[in-house]
Structure 1
Amino acid sequence: MRIACWQAACGSPDVTHLLGRLRAVARRAAEAGAELLVAPEMTVGGYPLRPGTLAQASGPVDGAHCMTVSQIARECGIAIVHGWPEDDGSSVYNAARVVSSEGVTLAAYRKAHLFGEVDSSRFRPGAQGVVQASVGGLTVGLLICYDVEFPEAVRAHAMAGTQLLVVPTALMQPWEFVARTLVPARAFESQLYVAYTNWIGEHQGLRFCGLTTVAAPDGTRLTLEEPAEGLLLAEIDPAVVAKARSATPYLHDRRPELYEGLPARLGFG
């Protein structure tokens, strides 16, 4: 399956403007033969969110903004992964959603590991570790940004059968090593594809480093090195996942019994 990752340039946080940009990019991705488009963290509203934009962008899974994304998916004939602030009536979450090319919500995930004050002052952490959907015959899993920096979160997806892990992100400077080193390592050690999709440019004093990457389980990767908006196209082949898991059987050779008794204070409980 061909996927497209949208490395989006920071700009106006206006929700209508951002959704218009998403529509144009979805059309381009579909014309390039992609079946799935992955957008950056907090696609609706931008990251980080000012209080006014947070109020404008927030809504439930079946709210107006998500339904507009569903309409875009139907119009362009492409599945979409997008981020938005999910408001369930009692709490707000940093969330991501997978919508099918028919506009149907396939899955929604709430960021479990909140990054510093920029997240914790606005959002409540999600309580579900592994969220998956079937897209084009692939088992697609969801994490958001900081989540991928926890190896156990990625390994849990691998053990649950995820073949393509999509990670909308907002990685800032000077942490480029996360995209260059850590993300490819996660793909190799957990033997799945990781599509890590970032912003580029500066917003509210934060400079995002781009480096949108699709890392394969065989150690290869594609990266947008140019510090500009762009569309990264990549082929996702389930046979590559199967071959990697056969050649280096990390998942089979695990010995979880060695860690079960370790105390929680060491981080293993």
Structure 2
Amino acid sequence: MKIAALQMQSATGDVRDNLNHIERAAVEAARAGAKLLITPELCVTGYGAGPEIISLAEPCDGDQIKALQAVSSSHHIAIVAGFAERAVADVYNSAAFIDGFKEPAIYRKSHLYGDYEKSLFKPSKPENCIVEMEGLKFGLLICYDVEFPENVRRLALGGVDAILVPTALPAGPSGSFIANHMIQVRAFENQIFIAYVNHAGADARFTFAGNSRIAAPDGSLIASSDDTAEHLLFADIEPAIFAASIGDNPYLKDVTPL
């Protein structure tokens, strides 16, 4: 399956502009043959919108998700989008897997990063969110979640072929290490694909690292951005191509439960 990853310059606090931006990318990705488009963490509101995120948060059956469902259905492409999810009195940093007008799969971030996120969101209990599409199983994580190997291993043991990770990775030495080393190691040590999709540019609060990556089970990069500009990346998710790597490195088969 061909997938697309949008390293996106979000408009802070402008939901309508961001939804239109996602639709333009969906059109381009679908024309290129992609069946799935992945966008960054909180891209619907903009990551750096601060307390305004609380007022922009919507339930998973709200207008934002309905608009994305319409885009997905119209252009025949599934979409993963980061949004602020309101659930009664709580707000979660969430990602929705949207496939037309089917009920969306919702993943809530379990590991909040820093005082900024902790001041805005409630953390979720770690859990597997796995969806199936065209014979492949996709798991969802958000940003900091992927930096905890337990989260990735749990999904890998759940049988996923790939993990989709909307992120808001900031610029700096640690961000460079995560993008340039950790994502490929996570893919290799679990023998799965990982799509790690970051913001482009900067907003009023944060400067982002860019450097979106799609890593393969053998640890290679099959798509990547080496800068902070906006890009639409494409990669083919074909587990059979990496059967030799999976056979040579049977970590999931040989792991001894603690």
Fold shared, TM-score > 0.5 on shorter chain: yes
Superposition RMSD in Å: 1.3
Q: What is residue 119 of structure 2 aligned with on the other side?
A: 121
What's the secondary structure of 1:25's corresponding residue?
helix
Question: TM-score, normalised on structure 1?
Answer: 0.91
The structure whose Rg is larger is 1
* TM superposition shift of 1:241: 5.1
For residues 234-266 of structure 1, give each alpha carbon's deviation from its aligned partner in whole angstroms, at most 9, with x where no partner exists.
00002145443222111111112xx3xxxxxxx
The amino acid across from 1:55 in the alignment is: S
Of the structure 1 ranges 234-243 and 178-187, higher mean CA displacement relative to structure 2 is found in 234-243
Q: Is the 8 A contact 2:213 2:225 kept in 1?
A: yes
Contact 1:35/1:136, CA 8 A, preserved across alignment: no
Distance 2:104 2:52 in 1: 29
Q: Residue 104 of structure 1: CA displacement?
A: 1.7
The residue aligned with 2:186 is 186
**Distance (whole Å) between structure 2 residues aligned to residue 107 and residue 182 of structure 1:** 26
In the superposition, the TM-score normalised over structure 2's length comes to: 0.95
Q: Is the 8 A contact 2:53 2:84 kept in 1?
A: no
The 8 Å contact of residues 10 and 43 in structure 2, kept in 1 or not, is answered as: no
Q: One-letter code of the match for 2:164?
A: V
Q: Within 5 Å, give how 1:63-212 maps onto structure 2.
A: 63-100=62-99, 102-174=100-172, 175-212=175-212
Letter paired with 1:198: N
Deviation at 1:53, TM superposition (A): 4.1
Alpha carbons 1:245, 1:251 under 8 Å: kept: no
Please give the alpha-carbon distance, in whole angstroms, between the structure 2 residues aligned to 1:187 and 1:41. 20
Query: How many positions carry a matched residue from both structures?
Result: 255
Matched-pair identity in %:
39
Q: Is the 8 A contact 2:106 2:129 kept in 1?
A: yes
Residues 243 and 105 (structure 1), Cα distance of their counterparts in 2 relative to 1, 3 Å cut:
farther
Q: Secondary structure at the match of 1:209?
A: coil
Instruction: Give the secondary-structure state (helix, strand or coil) at the position aligned to 2:49.
Output: coil
Partners of 2:12 and 2:203 within 8 A in 1: no
| Larger CA deviation: 235-244 vs 184-193 | 235-244
Contact 1:106 1:133 in 2 (8 A): no
In structure 2, what residue type is equivalent to 1:117?
D
In structure 1, list runs of 5 or more residues that go unmatched: 260-269
